[in-house]
Amino acid sequence: MIHIKTPEQIELMRHAGRISAKVLRKTGEMVRPGITTLELDRFAENLIRIEGARPAFLGYSGFKGSICASVNDQIVHGIPHKDVRLNEGDIISIDTGAVLEGWYGDNAATFAVGEISADAQRLLQVTECAMWAGIAAAMAGNRLGDIGHAVQTVSEDAGFGVVREYVGHGIGRHMHEDPNVPNFGRRGQGIKLKAGMVLAIEPMINMGDYTTRGPFEDGWIVYTADGSLSAHFERTVAVSVEGPPEILTKE
Ligand code: MG
């Protein structure tokens, strides 16, 4: 069931979104060669709590981090760890979520660790572009497939693979609500978008093939099947009465 949010509820989600965005930006600023993903996690958790919120991911189905930190060929759900130290040339996808007064914010971005290859740079740029294309399609009267189609077109035109098994989602009083928001699809297909729907739009794009492997014994971390790099960008947005959606995860 899809929960349409009232303007008052969207106002509350702006607060959770603002904190999520600030934590993502500031944690991203900490990314550098030599830092561990556990250090990034501690930094983010501390900031979330200073802001008066609580980490959305910590304890979610038993997840052990306050952020997801996915390095190189890890697509999503990387678990922060003291032994995972970033190296020059790596890319790291950081996903941060905050809960404030029961409302969730969720956003992600992939960051360069020092200097990265031109190919990796292009993957990051295309994935972010694909996210914005998907967001631009999230307009009242459009359909869910329009979002996926927009993301898929940008990504595949660049020669990259669109992950199928993991998708965006509705969000509100729960981190994951209906509907699922695939990053692939056909124009004009799927449910009709309505003002007050709040969606997390989050392309996960592989430099190579779209297929995945995992999660393995840890139950979480998902890798590209072919070992290629993967990037992930995400914003929480509210469908407006008219025009493009409002970005809720912004400062
Ligand atoms: Mg999400």
pLDDT one-digit tens code per residue, 154-188 = 999 999 999 999 999 999 999 999 999 999 999 99
Helix axis angle, 7-29 relative to 37-50, nearest 10°? 140
- Whether the Cβ atoms of residue 216 and residue 77 lie closer than 8 Å to each other: no
**How far, in Å, from the CA of 145 to the mean position of ligand 1?**
18
**How far, in Å, from the CA of 6 to the mean position of ligand 1?**
21
Classify burial at 222, counting beta carbons within 10 Å of its beta carbon; exposed 0-12, middle 13-18, buried 19 or more.
buried
Q: Which of 210, 249, 237 is nearest to 226 (CA)?
A: 210
Structural tokens at position 148 = 């996926």
**How far, in Å, from the CA of 222 to the mean position of ligand 1?**
14
The pLDDT of residue 130 is 98
Query: How far is C-alpha 143 from the geometric centre of its chain's CA atoms?
Result: 21
More confident residue, 122 or 217: 122
Per-residue confidence band for 218, with pLDDT thresholds at 50, 70 and 90 = confident
Per-residue confidence band for 227, with pLDDT thresholds at 50, 70 and 90 = very high
**How far, in Å, from the CA of 168 to the mean position of ligand 1?**
6
Sheet holding 177-181, edge to edge: 177-181, 168-170, 198-201, 235-238, 246-247
For the segment 196-200, the average pLDDT, to the nearest whole number, is: 98
Residue 106 has, within 13 A of its CA and on its CB side, a CA count of: 24
Query: How far is C-alpha 206 from the geometric centre of its chain's CA atoms?
Result: 14
Classify burial at 217, counting beta carbons within 10 Å of its beta carbon; exposed 0-12, middle 13-18, buried 19 or more.
exposed
CA distance 69 to 29: 14
Q: pTM surpassing 0.85? A: yes
Which H or E run contains 198? strand 198-201
Residue ranges of the domains in the chain?
Answer: 7-247
Name residue 129's amino acid.
C
The pLDDT of residue 12 is 98
CA distance 231 to 92: 8
**How far, in Å, from the CA of 26 to the mean position of ligand 1?**
19
Per-residue confidence band for 216, with pLDDT thresholds at 50, 70 and 90 = confident
How many CB atoms are located within 10 Å of the residue 63 CB?
18
Q: For all residues of the chain together, what is the average pLDDT?
A: 97
Structural tokens at position 57 = 């991911």
The pLDDT of residue 219 is 87
Query: How far is C-alpha 152 from the geometric centre of its chain's CA atoms?
Result: 16
Q: Evaluate if residue 217 carries a pLDDT over 90.
A: no
**How far, in Å, from the CA of 141 to the mean position of ligand 1?**
23
For the segment 214-226, the average pLDDT, to the nearest whole number, is: 91
Per-residue confidence band for 42, with pLDDT thresholds at 50, 70 and 90 = very high
Percent of the chain with pLDDT over 70: 100
The pLDDT of residue 203 is 98
Per-residue confidence band for 153, with pLDDT thresholds at 50, 70 and 90 = very high
Q: Judge if the upstream peptide bond of residue 244 is cis by omega within 30 degrees of 0.
A: no
Q: Evaluate if residue 237 carries a pLDDT over 90.
A: yes
pLDDT tens profile 12-29:
999 999 999 999 999 999
pLDDT tens profile 106-138:
999 999 999 999 999 999 999 999 999 999 999
**How far, in Å, from the CA of 169 to the mean position of ligand 1?**
6
**How far, in Å, from the CA of 166 to the mean position of ligand 1?**
9
**How far, in Å, from the CA of 176 to the mean position of ligand 1?**
7
**How far, in Å, from the CA of 165 to the mean position of ligand 1?**
13
Helix axis angle, 118-136 relative to 144-157, nearest 10°? 160
The pLDDT of residue 187 is 98
CATH no. of 7-247: 3.90.230.10
The pLDDT of residue 183 is 98
